[in-house]
Amino acid sequence: MSQDHTLMGFVHRRRRGAELFLLLLALAVGIGAYAAVGLGMEGTIPADIVGYGGWLTALIVVAHVAIRIFAPYADPVLLPLVAALNGLGLAVIHRLDLDNTSQCVDNGDFARQQLIWMTLGVVLFVATLGLLRDHRLLQRLTYTTGLAAIVLLLLPMVPIVGNTVNGAKIWISVGPFSFQPGEVAKVLLVIAFAGYLVLHRDALALAGRRVLFIDLPRGRDLGPILGMWAVSMFILVFQRDLGSSLLFFGIFLIMLYVATERPGWLVVGTVLFAVGAFAGWRAFGHVQNRVNIWLDPMAYYDQNPGSGQLVEGLFGMGWGGLIGRGFGGGAPCRIPYAESDFIVPAIGEELGLTAVMAIIVCYGLIVERALRIALISRDGFGKLMAVGLGSIFALQVFVVVGGVTGLIPLTGLTTPFLSYGGSSLVANWVVIALLLRISDQARRPVPRLSADDSDTGSDSESTQVVKLR
Amino acid sequence: MNKPIRTISLFCLVLFLALMLNATYLMYVRSGELTADPQNRRVITAAFSRERGAILVGKDAVARSVPSDDQYDFQRTYPQPFKYAPLTGYFSYYSQSGIERSQNDVLSGEDSRLFVTRLVDMLSNTDPQGGNVQLTIDPEAQTAAFEGLRALGEDVQGAVVAIEPATGKILAMVSNPTYDPNTLASHDFGSVEDSYQALEQDPAEPLINRGIGTTLPPGSTFKLVTAAAAIESGDYDAQSMVPGGASFQLPQSTTKVGNQGGGDCGGNRITLTQALQVSCNVTFMSLADELGIEAMTEQAEKFGFNSTSLEDLPGQARSLYPPDMDEPQTALSGIGQSSVTATPLQMAMVSAGIANDGVVMRPYVVDEVRAPNLSLLDKTSESELSEAVSPSTADDLTEMMVATVDDGTAYAAAIPGVRVAGKTGTAESTDTRPPYAWFTSFAPADDPKVAVAVLVQSSDTAPGDIAGGRLGGPIAKAVMEAVLNP
């Protein structure tokens, strides 16, 4: 942690005014898109534009004020990015609601529900910032969160609450509510990984055999990675959820590599994953199916299970071209689940390559901000958490956008902040709150300590003054 | 821990760059390919709802879009469905045929020539509109051909094609049995499916445009090609003496082939003109035998056999003169039998070529393409397909055909006060089916305005009664009169 001292002299500006300005742009995207949907679908600006716009503005303002109060030094770009994506997602879901053709007929009012979920997300966002004044408190909960994550992952397998949707056992139902525990589990897992790795990183970093300029880890340290691999395989086999399996293992691998600085772990992890994926491909028809469809989507268009959904998405995006057909000009309802997994093709069809690029750049910026937070964070736990949370977005967006555009085999994952789905939206708002909390801690000026400044020992981490409440 | 974080940043950069490159490839590079995919229902659904341009004959639309108040904005209608179905084709949710298919880009407004119109539509936020297609068809001639063919019976199988010899413009194209494209353009997809199945399974094949899609042995009308080859060889003219008689001994065979009706054509040595007048089989078999397969093939191909020529209407079948026939087959080909097959369009092109001083013009059916605001976008220019015979040969053949109408088998096409040139044909394909009646003619002989070919495949009249002149002649006459006396 030697660079901490070079940062000492530099004081980050709060940049809350910049954040407010960017938020205004984000609101213009969200409300403008909503108005455009009304114009495109019904020919007039929707009558409830004031109520809707007001509600959206209120939520964003509340989030902004919460940051001003609870995390004044937090990164100023993250919230505007999220606000823009969430606003655009709401407008697109609203557009799909208004469509009365084919698949969209029984959509009802997903947009209204999504707005309620967003409200809940913002409430939890504010609560996280307000209640969690220092992210290092979470380090105490390493094993608790780990256990909770595993319980949540197992819940869908429990007979009464578990619920199978489209072949994937990733839902639980409690009364009228259904919920994807995996979305919460991924946040808890990142916290547990960070807490575990920051304690055991030194042991895990010990070099074992050296092969081709890469130090492989020692055999006796393989326990954690094998355990995580087993969890991923369990999810793949018993919940038939390719996407989550890849996501969890990928996050763990990245965090392990960052904690130990040993590329050898990447080698071990990649080999393990390749073995698992190959075994899964050999053993399961649905995995083979996905791969075959990926290799030649057109050939399976009319079959069941086939590539109809993927190909309709590809057709839609191809038809959208550079600037899209405009809201109401496309037929995104030809794509089953256009409002959730396939929202990017729906956007591509009506808003074109331009919007798809903009969305990818937004996600890229979120990841970039998260990794930047990790770089400047002063504590190992915060670094690992920020890397983990950023990787969630990177991997999830790559898997889902890559899947629907035919870059990689399709696996079901939601598109963060855009897709319809309460669990995902709420969990992602909390992720952003956690990132902002770490960012606030990292950018906050360090209290001047007269004597210890000259101490540049390697144990500076342990002598750091931590403000705990 | 910062070094691996930077590595991870690079890794994430690669992931996002891959996503962006792939999105560009998919939505920009592959966009056209995906839109053209036949499985892509999006494009057709949008096109189905759009105001499609009209197909015009004269001043009347034979296919147009009218506003509709169901889930689609416009309904395609065909005001004269049966008469024009072989030309317009149909425009259903599932597929298109005819002009609806070949001119789809213009009619749907996607054509690059309509780019400016499309841009204006987009900027002014009005719904895009398709362009109009003007056909070369003469409505009077089309009506005469349709009513003439239908007069032989509602379910007569046959076709009529008329061409303007000097340009290649198709003036009439009728096929029967025909169908009602309105039933296929309906928005009730269930009934569309039923109608389509019924039409497709109908043994009379109403969906086929017999004018260009059915090839059958052309019979005696092919004697025009044989005569052309003979005169072009330089050894014959209209007055040359040629073999006649009662029968022709096929080479390499014991079979003797006689004349229609068993006569001797008026003697063992007759003039070429007389041979055509009485449609003497013996003469033309011996001529074909003498000229040989190469000369015959060359002449047939100059008239358009063994290739397709119609570019703006899909479904043209290739008329065949197989260049690998043996000697007896070649002899039989001289009277349009053995493996020779032709479409009515091809036989009309033979007449038109003779009428146009030996030059065969490329046939076409789309005259003009106009933007929605009726400004001219494109006009098809006439083009020469081939020089089939020399002008002097064409003159000789014309005189022989005039004689055939005035004093020969083609008398049924005679028009008082006009010199008409014509040739009949009756071809047998198999023993179990009635013979096909053919007729081809043009008029006026001195300044040809129209060339016609008529094919009657089967009709309600008794088999023995079929002779090209009697069935086809009056129809050809009616079509020529419609063009000459509008």
The residue extents of the domains of chain B are 215-366+381-484
CB contact (8 A) between residue A319 and residue B71? no
Averaged pLDDT, B37-56: 82
User: What distance in Å separates the CA atoms of residue B207 and residue B214, rounded to the nearest whole number?
Assistant: 11
Q: Of the candidates B26, B33, B45, which has its C-beta nearest A406's C-beta?
A: B26
**Predicted pLDDT of residue A3:** 47
How far is CA A262 from its chain centroid? 25
Which secondary-structure segment (H or E) carries A448? none
Q: Are strands A177-179 and B436-443 parallel, antiparallel or unpaired?
A: unpaired
Per cent of chain A over pLDDT 90 is 40
Q: Which residues of B touch A384 (CB under 8 A)?
A: 1
Contacts of B20 in chain A (CB under 8 A): 357, 360-361
Phi, psi of A388 (to 5 degrees): -60, -45
CATH architecture of structural domain B215-366+381-484? 3-Layer(aba) Sandwich (3.40)
Show residues of chain B in contact with A350, CB under 8 Å: none
Q: Has residue A237 got a pLDDT over 80?
A: no
- Which tens digits make up the pLDDT trace of A393-434? 999 999 999 999 999 888 878 899 999 888 899 999 999 999
Confirm whether B390 is a catalytic residue. Answer: no
Contact A319 B12 (CB under 8 A): no
Q: Give the pair of three-digit tokens for residue B117.
A: 């119109």
Is there a contact between A125 and A131 (Cβ–Cβ < 8 Å)?
Answer: no
Q: Of the candidates A85, A81, A26, A36, which has an alpha carbon nearest to the alpha carbon of residue A57?
A: A26
Tell me the average pLDDT of chain A: 84
For an interface test with A, the pick among B5, B28, B43 (most A C-beta atoms closer than 10 Å) comes out as B5
CA distance B41 to chain A (A): 9
Across the interface, do A321 and B27 touch by the CB < 8 Å criterion? yes
Q: What is the pLDDT of residue A340?
A: 83
What is d(CA A86, CA A83) in angstroms, rounded to the nearest whole number? Answer: 5
Q: Using a CB–CB cutoff of 8 Å, tell me whether A39 touches chain B.
A: no
When pLDDT is cut at 50, 70 and 90, the band that residue B79 belongs to is very high
Rounded to an integer, the average pLDDT of A169-195 is 80
Q: Which residues of B touch A (CB under 8 A)?
A: 1-9, 12-13, 15-16, 18-20, 22-24, 26-28, 30-35, 37, 39-43, 45-46, 71
Q: Which residue has the higher pLDDT, A169 or A137?
A: A137
The answer on pLDDT for A335 being more than 80 is yes
Q: Which residue has the higher pLDDT, A370 or B125?
A: A370
Whether B250 has a pLDDT exceeding 70, the answer reads yes
Q: How many helices (H) and strands (E) does chain B have?
A: 18, 17
Q: Where are the domains of chain A?
A: 3-446
Q: Where are the alpha helices (DSSP H) in A405-421?
A: none
Tokens 């071990």 -> residue: A268
A110-131 and A49-70 are packed helices; what angle lies between their axes, rounded to 10 degrees?
10
Cβ distance B16 to A322 less than 8 Å, yes or no, reads: no
Residue B122: pLDDT band (50, 70, 90) is low
Average pLDDT in chain B: 88
The whole model's pTM is what? 0.69
- Cα distances (Å, whole numbers) of residue A323 to A38, A320, A330, B1, B358: 19, 7, 12, 42, 55
Token pair of B292, please? 């040989």
Residues 6+ apart with CB under 8 A from B408: B276, B277, B278, B279
Q: Are B429 and B457 in contact (CB under 8 A)?
A: no
pLDDT tens readout for residues A317-332: 998 888 888 888 888 8
Residues in chain A closer than 8 A to B45 (CB atoms)? 331
B56-76 confidence digits (pLDDT tens): 999 899 999 998 877 788 899
**Phi, psi (degrees; rounded to nearest 5) at B240:** -60, 150
Burial of A108 (0-12, 13-18, 19+ CB in 10 A): exposed
Report CA-CA distances (Å) from B164 to A448, B55, B472.
Answer: 100, 20, 19
pLDDT of res. A89: 94
Which stretch of A405-419, B230-244, B457-471 has the lowest confidence by average pLDDT?
A: B457-471
Catalytic entry in B175, B220, B309, B333: B220
Give the best residue of B7, B13, B16 to mutate against chain A (max A CB count within 10 A): B16
> pLDDT tens digits for A103-143?
666 667 888 889 999 999 999 999 999 999 889 899 988 88
With CA atoms as reference, the chain A residue closest to B3 would be A261
User: Does the pLDDT at position B463 exceed 60?
Assistant: no
